[in-house]
Structure 1
Amino acid sequence: MRLNKLLFIILTCCLNLIIHAQNNRSVLLVDYVKEIEQAFDVKFSYSVNEVSTVEIERPINVTELKAIINYLNDNTLLKFSFINERYITISTLNKTISICGLVITKDEDLPLMGATASISNTNIGAITSSDGLFYLSHIPVDAIVNISYLGYETKSLGVTALRGESNCQNIILNPKEQQLNEILITKFLTTGLQKRRDGSTQLNSAKFGILPGLTEPDILQSIQALPGVESIDESISNINVRGGTNDQNLMLWNNIKMYHTGHFFGLISAYNPYLTDEVVVAKNGTSSEFSDGVSSTVNMNSKHEVSTKINGGVGANLLHADGYIEMPVNDKLGIQLSARRSYTDYFTTPTYDNYFNRSFQDSEITTNSDNINESDRDSEFYFYDYSAQILYQINPKHRIKTNLIGINNNLNYHESFTDSDNNVQSKTSSLKQQNLGFGGEWDAKWSQKFSTNLSSYYSKYNVDAVDFRIETDQKLTQSNEVLETGIKLNTNYKISDKLKLLNGYQFTEVGILNETTVSAPSLTRTKKDVLLNHALFSELEYSSNTTYLRLGVRGNYFEKFDKLIIEPRLNFRRQLLKRLALKIQGEFKNQSATQVIDFQDDFLGVENRRWILANNETIPISESKQASMGLEYDKNNLLIDIEGFYKTVDGITVSNQGFYNNFQFLNAIGGYEVKGLEFLANKTGNYYSVWVSYTYSINDYEFNSLTPSFFPNNVDIRHSVAGAVNLDVLDNVKVSLGGMYRSGRPFTRPVEGNETLQDGNNTFVNYDSPNAENLDYFMRLDGSLSYRFNISNNVNTILRVGVINILDRKNTINKYYEVDPNDANNAIEIENKSLGLTPNISWRLQF
Structure 2
Amino acid sequence: MEVRHWLIGLYLLIVSTGFSQNQQIPLADYLTTIETTFNVKFSYAVNDVTNIYITKPSETLDLKSTLDYLNANTLLNFKTIDKRYITVSVLEKTISICGIVLSDETNQGLLGASIIVNNTYLGTSSDNNGQFSLNDIPLQATITISYLGFKDQIITARAFFDSQQGCKPITLLVDNQMLSEVLITKYLTTGLQKLIDGNILLNTEQFGILPGLIAPDILQSIQVLPGIESVNESVANINVRGGTNDQNLILWDGIKMYHSGHFFGLISAYNPNLTNKVIVTKNGTSSQYSDGVSSTINMFTKDKITNTFSGGAGANLISADAFLEIPISKKLALHISGRRSITDAFSTPTYDNYFERSFQDSDININPNLDNSTTQSDFVFYDYTAKVLFDLNDKHQFRANIIGINNNLDYTESITDSNTTTSTKSSNLTQDNLGYGGNWNAQWNDAFSTTVSGSYSQYNVDASDLRVQTNQRLTQANEVSETSLQLKTEYNFNTNLSFINGYQFNEIGILNQTTVTVPSYSKTKKDVLLNHAFFTEVQYHKNNTYLRLGARANYFQKFDQLLIEPRLNVRQKLSNQFAIKLEGEFKNQTATQIVDFQDDFLGVENRRWILADNQSIPISKSKQASFGIDYKQRKLTLDLTSFYKVVHGISARNQGFYNNFQYLNAIGNYTSKGVEFLANITADRFSTWLSYTYSINDYQFDSFTPSVFPNNVDIRHSVSLGFNYNVLQNLQLSVGSVWHSGQPYTNPLASNPTVQINTNYYVNYDQPNSKNVDPFFRLDASINYDFNFTKDSKLSFRAGVKNVTNHHNTINRYFEVDPEDTNNTIQIDNKSLGLTPNASLRYSF
Give the structure-2-normalised TM-score: 0.82
Give 1:276's aligned residue. Answer: 275
Give 1:119's aligned residue. Answer: none
Q: Is the 8 A contact 1:790 1:796 kept in 2?
A: yes
Q: 1:648 aligns with which of 627, 637, 646?
A: 646
Give 1:232's aligned residue. Answer: 231
Q: 1:671 aligns with which of 658, 669, 672?
A: 669
Say if 1:822 and 1:330 are closer, same or farther in 2 by CA, change over 3 A.
same
Counterpart of 1:603 in 2: which secondary structure?
Answer: helix
**For residues 792 and 151 of structure 2, what CA distance do their matches in structure 1 show?**
30
**For residues 304 and 635 of structure 1, what CA distance do their matches in structure 2 show?**
35
Give 1:125's aligned residue. Answer: none
**For residues 12 and 683 of structure 1, what CA distance do their matches in structure 2 show?**
63
Please report how far the alpha carbon of residue 307 of structure 1 lies from its aligned counterpart in structure 2 after TM superposition: 2.2
Give 1:592's aligned residue. Answer: 590
Counterpart of 2:366 in 1: which secondary structure?
Answer: coil
User: Within the alignment, does 1:131 sit opposite 2:142 as a pair?
Assistant: yes
Q: 2:687 aligns with which of 686, 689, 693?
A: 689
Counterpart of 2:367 in 1: which secondary structure?
Answer: coil
* 1:305-337 deviation digits (Å, cap 9, x = unpaired): 112201111111100000111111111111101
**For residues 12 and 249 of structure 2, what CA distance do their matches in structure 1 show?**
76
Give 1:387's aligned residue. Answer: 385
- Kindly report which structure 2 residues correspond to 1:241-320, keeping only aligned pairs within 5 A, or say none: 241-320=240-319
Q: What amino acid maps onto 1:565 in structure 2? A: L
Q: Is the 8 A contact 1:202 1:281 kept in 2?
A: yes
Give 2:755's aligned residue. Answer: 757
Please report how far the alpha carbon of residue 417 of structure 1 lies from its aligned counterpart in structure 2 after TM superposition: 0.6
Q: 2:632 aligns with which of 627, 631, 634?
A: 634
Give 1:477's aligned residue. Answer: 475
**For residues 351 and 148 of structure 2, what CA distance do their matches in structure 1 show?**
41
- Kindly report which structure 2 residues correspond to 1:72-87, keeping only aligned pairs within 5 A, or say none: none
Please report how far the alpha carbon of residue 17 of structure 1 lies from its aligned counterpart in structure 2 after TM superposition: 9.4
Q: 1:609 aligns with which of 607, 610, 621?
A: 607
Q: What amino acid maps onto 1:768 in structure 2? A: D
Q: 1:657 aligns with which of 655, 668, 671?
A: 655
**For residues 418 and 237 of structure 2, what CA distance do their matches in structure 1 show?**
44
Give 1:516's aligned residue. Answer: 514
**For residues 791 and 580 of structure 1, what CA distance do their matches in structure 2 show?**
45
**For residues 841 and 154 of structure 1, what CA distance do their matches in structure 2 show?**
34
Say if 1:424 and 1:683 are closer, same or farther in 2 by CA, change over 3 A.
same
User: Within the alignment, does 1:437 sit opposite 2:435 as a pair?
Assistant: yes
**For residues 579 and 285 of structure 2, what CA distance do their matches in structure 1 show?**
19
* 1:203-260 deviation digits (Å, cap 9, x = unpaired): 0111111000001110000000100000000011110000000000000000000000
Please report how far the alpha carbon of residue 112 of structure 1 lies from its aligned counterpart in structure 2 after TM superposition: 9.0
Give 1:576's aligned residue. Answer: 574
**For residues 194 and 171 of structure 2, what CA distance do their matches in structure 1 show?**
27
Please report how far the alpha carbon of residue 421 of structure 1 lies from its aligned counterpart in structure 2 after TM superposition: 3.4
**For residues 325 and 342 of structure 1, what CA distance do their matches in structure 2 show?**
19
Q: Is the 8 A contact 2:149 2:181 kept in 1?
A: no
Please report how far the alpha carbon of residue 708 of structure 1 lies from its aligned counterpart in structure 2 after TM superposition: 0.6
Please report how far the alpha carbon of residue 459 of structure 1 lies from its aligned counterpart in structure 2 after TM superposition: 0.3
Q: What amino acid maps onto 2:684 in structure 1? A: N
**When the two structures are aligned, how many residues end up with a matched partner?**
730
User: Within the alignment, does 1:208 sit opposite 2:219 as a pair?
Assistant: no
Q: What amino acid maps onto 2:266 in structure 1? A: L
**For residues 340 and 667 of structure 2, what CA distance do their matches in structure 1 show?**
41
Give 2:794's aligned residue. Answer: 796
Give 2:96's aligned residue. Answer: none
Q: What amino acid maps onto 1:272 in structure 2? A: N
**For residues 194 and 171 of structure 1, what CA distance do their matches in structure 2 show?**
21
Q: 2:710 aligns with which of 680, 701, 712?
A: 712
Identity, in percent, stands at 56
Q: What amino acid maps onto 2:358 in structure 1? A: S
Give 1:218's aligned residue. Answer: 217
Counterpart of 2:602 in 1: which secondary structure?
Answer: coil
Please report how far the alpha carbon of residue 756 of structure 1 lies from its aligned counterpart in structure 2 after TM superposition: 1.4
**For residues 430 and 478 of structure 2, what CA distance do their matches in structure 1 show?**
11
Please report how far the alpha carbon of residue 804 of structure 1 lies from its aligned counterpart in structure 2 after TM superposition: 0.4
**For residues 804 and 296 of structure 2, what CA distance do their matches in structure 1 show?**
32
Say if 1:251 and 1:129 are closer, same or farther in 2 by CA, change over 3 A.
farther
Q: 2:412 aligns with which of 411, 414, 430?
A: 414
Q: Is the 8 A contact 2:816 2:826 kept in 1?
A: yes
Counterpart of 2:358 in 1: which secondary structure?
Answer: helix
Q: Is the 8 A contact 1:229 1:240 kept in 2?
A: yes
Please report how far the alpha carbon of residue 578 of structure 1 lies from its aligned counterpart in structure 2 after TM superposition: 1.0
Q: What amino acid maps onto 1:317 in structure 2? A: N
Q: Is the 8 A contact 1:372 1:415 kept in 2?
A: no
- Aligned Cα root-mean-square deviation (Å): 3.0
Please report how far the alpha carbon of residue 544 of structure 1 lies from its aligned counterpart in structure 2 after TM superposition: 1.3
Give 1:489's aligned residue. Answer: 487
Say if 1:634 and 1:822 are closer, same or farther in 2 by CA, change over 3 A.
same
**For residues 331 and 396 of structure 1, what CA distance do their matches in structure 2 show?**
12
**For residues 632 and 197 of structure 2, what CA distance do their matches in structure 1 show?**
15
Please report how far the alpha carbon of residue 470 of structure 1 lies from its aligned counterpart in structure 2 after TM superposition: 1.4
Give 1:743's aligned residue. Answer: 741
Gaps of 5+ in 2: 17-34, 37-100, 120-138, 154-161, 164-168
**For residues 551 and 797 of structure 2, what CA distance do their matches in structure 1 show?**
47
Q: Is the 8 A contact 1:414 1:427 kept in 2?
A: yes
* 1:327-361 deviation digits (Å, cap 9, x = unpaired): 11111111101000001112110000000000000
Larger radius of gyration: 1
Q: What amino acid maps onto 1:491 in structure 2? A: T
Q: Is the 8 A contact 2:624 2:643 kept in 1?
A: yes
Give 1:766's aligned residue. Answer: 764
**For residues 265 and 199 of structure 1, what CA distance do their matches in structure 2 show?**
31
Say if 1:635 and 1:481 are closer, same or farther in 2 by CA, change over 3 A.
same
Say if 1:224 and 1:150 are closer, same or farther in 2 by CA, change over 3 A.
closer
Q: Is the 8 A contact 2:593 2:608 kept in 1?
A: yes
Give 1:352's aligned residue. Answer: 351
**For residues 16 and 632 of structure 1, what CA distance do their matches in structure 2 show?**
62
Q: What amino acid maps onto 1:500 in structure 2? A: S
* 1:477-536 deviation digits (Å, cap 9, x = unpaired): 000000000011110001122110010111000000000000100111000000000100
**For residues 142 and 808 of structure 2, what CA distance do their matches in structure 1 show?**
55
Q: Is the 8 A contact 2:282 2:295 kept in 1?
A: yes
Q: Is the 8 A contact 1:444 1:451 kept in 2?
A: yes
Give the structure-1-normalised TM-score: 0.82
Say if 1:282 and 1:542 are closer, same or farther in 2 by CA, change over 3 A.
same
**For residues 585 and 629 of structure 1, what CA distance do their matches in structure 2 show?**
6
**For residues 13 and 833 of structure 1, what CA distance do their matches in structure 2 show?**
86
Q: What amino acid maps onto 2:816 in structure 1? A: E
Q: What amino acid maps onto 1:447 in structure 2? A: N
Gaps of 5+ in 1: 1-8, 26-59, 62-103, 116-127, 134-147, 156-165
Say if 1:754 and 1:582 are closer, same or farther in 2 by CA, change over 3 A.
same
Please report how far the alpha carbon of residue 291 of structure 1 lies from its aligned counterpart in structure 2 after TM superposition: 0.9
Give 1:455's aligned residue. Answer: 453
Say if 1:610 and 1:130 are closer, same or farther in 2 by CA, change over 3 A.
farther
